[in-house]
Amino acid sequence: MEKNQKLIQWVKEWETRCQPKSVHWCDGSEKENQELLDLMVQSGAAIKLNEEKRPNSYYFQSDPSDVARVENRTFICSEKEEDAGPTNNWCAPAEMKEILTGYFDGSMKGRTMYVIPFSMGPLGSEIAHIGIQITDSPYVVVNMRIMTRMGQQVLDILGDKDFVPCVHSLGAPLQEGQQDSKWPSAPIEDKYISHFPDTNEIWSYGSGYGGNALLGKKCFALRIASNMAHRQGWLAEHMLIMGITNPKGVKKYIAAAFPSACGKTNLAMLIPTIPGWKVETVGDDIAWMKFGDDGRLYAINPEAGFFGVAPFTSMETNPNAMLSCRANTIFTNTGLTPDNDIWWEGIGYDIPEGTITWTNEKYDAANRKPAAHPNARFTAPAYQCPAIDKDWENPKGVPISAILFGGRRPGTLPLIYQSFDWNHGVFMGSIAGSEVTAAAIGLKAGVRRDPFAMLPFCGYHMGDYFAHWVKTGVTAPDSSKLPKIFNVNWFRKGSDGKFLWPGYGDNIRALAWIFDRVEGTVDAVQTPIGFIPKKEDINIAGLDGIESKMDEILKVDANEWVAECDLIAENYGQFGDRLPKEMTEQLEKLKARLA
């Protein structure tokens, strides 16, 4: 530590500004972790869960104003406004720093300032990067210990090299003798999650929740890292990474990007329903990818834990996630049962009498308020996942053979289609999205585009981001080794409004076709939108009533796609002259094929 003068100076500057009562450099040890947890139990911030049911696990309730990422309080502060693009909130760096310096002045009074050294990715990996987070929240420290490689060994590797500086304060200074609240945070209008891509800095103020406060998560791993990747020629993506082994023992790795609520964690931890296939998890949320010496694209999971949405996770929908959080886990905003266990909607069994809700009231079915907040979370170590891949911490990463995009589309998109080439695959990623109903989300009904599932997370202009993907194809050391690109849609509905495809573990049937396409052992049907399977090449053995639906499941309706082209063109309009010409060409080619 002592040899990194830049780090020492930086910490001193923030100590002077925030005025904490003390400064603690985190070593990441078990002893330190237990002391912080004990401290939070004593203060009433945490409850220790039933040791027999949930060994070494803890429960927290947040303030009702601090329950999720807040997109409208999230800023990209690039020097030029146009570099942030139309999909981000922008503020000039000098202006934002002036605002926030006012907020940070004295913001840690009466609290401890924790200095957290953390590595995003396996220690010493050439794809990994190191950050240092300052925070006044012990909750953040214990979560960061699960979500990243954290502590003294990170400082040892850092030496005198550069790091990504991350500053976080709850924005709740304590006066002498003042009683602390259970979940200190600032009002919504005083919350700021700000990113400075030109200097790789993150300043977050006023929220203690999730990605607003665990700055290694979306802030570093995507918004800052996407800028670093753009400048340095690699990829930082909102993608799961999974290993798939076929019955012959051949193994391939797939990366997949889906918007939230499209089953990403379920897919990463899938348990196959057809014999002989095996799925293993490298990561459920983020992939950093670089080309290896052999010309292939290699991916690491920069995280060390799962920050999973709890509601509707069950032994039926995702047994591996349930087993991952059986011990050593932090639960936030679930229900709390009388015997100090957790409960949430969709857990698979009835709510025990006397359960306390996430707002600390006794659960009452009559008032229709859920026991768990819809965004209730579990923070669990990845190594506890029964399906964790043996190479999940390989510093070289794992070689990616295929990339999948997807979203929730009740119509138009078939179960699977494959791109004709790399740029066509980039086009598929650029038009990804989910259909929304106005009633459900309060948004205008229609397709909500979420290109590459990166809409809330891309730290620069989305048009430049598409161009970076195009360039990746051009500058690849060996274009024949680029991953094949596919789109999947588990959510197509029939005329009765019901899902046509069974989903969950049966998604292995679609993945098996993708696997065989990568292997070159199965043919496909060429359509205007891409290659789709012959229906006899999808293994539907043991699925009752699916055979009669396969035509509908794989249907490509030209009229629907002509309408889709109009929607794509409308969405592309916002990117102006930053939209790469390759994307416009792909849209024109699609229209020509449809005609």
Rounded CA gap, 274 and 510, in Å? Answer: 11
Nearest to 318 by CA among 251, 263, 371, 381: 263
Quote the tokens at residue 108: 């840690």
Strand 446-449 to 342-343 pairing: unpaired
Amino acid at 381: P
**CA 388, 389, 391, 395 torsion: positive or negative?**
negative
Calculate the alpha carbon distances from 457 to 76, 78, 225, 429, 441 in Å: 10, 15, 10, 15, 20
Amino acid at 335: G
Residue indicated by tokens 């359509």 = 527
Rounded CA gap, 219 and 12, in Å? Answer: 23
Rounded CA gap, 173 and 184, in Å? Answer: 9
Residue 536's SS3 state is helix
In DSSP terms, which residues pair with 255 in a beta bridge? 241, 403
190: how many CB neighbours lie within 10 A of its CB?
13
137: how many CB neighbours lie within 10 A of its CB?
26
Residue 320's SS3 state is helix
Residue 138's SS3 state is helix
Nearest to 333 by CA among 86, 29, 59, 48: 59
Rounded CA gap, 274 and 399, in Å? Answer: 25
Count the residues in the chain.
Answer: 595
Residue indicated by tokens 């499209």 = 262
Cα 357 to the center of its chain, rounded Å? 26
Under 8 Å between Cβ of 243 and 287: no
425 membership: H or E segment, kind and range: helix 422-430
Rounded CA gap, 240 and 289, in Å? Answer: 12
Alpha helices of 131-282 — where are they, by DSSP H?
A: 138-147, 152-158, 210-213, 225-232, 264-268
Nearest to 575 by CA among 12, 16, 77, 84: 84
Active-site hit among 18, 262, 325, 458: 262
* Residue 262 falls in the annotated catalytic set: yes
Quote the tokens at residue 222: 């995507």
Rounded CA gap, 539 and 250, in Å? Answer: 18
Rounded CA gap, 437 and 454, in Å? Answer: 21
Active site residues: 262
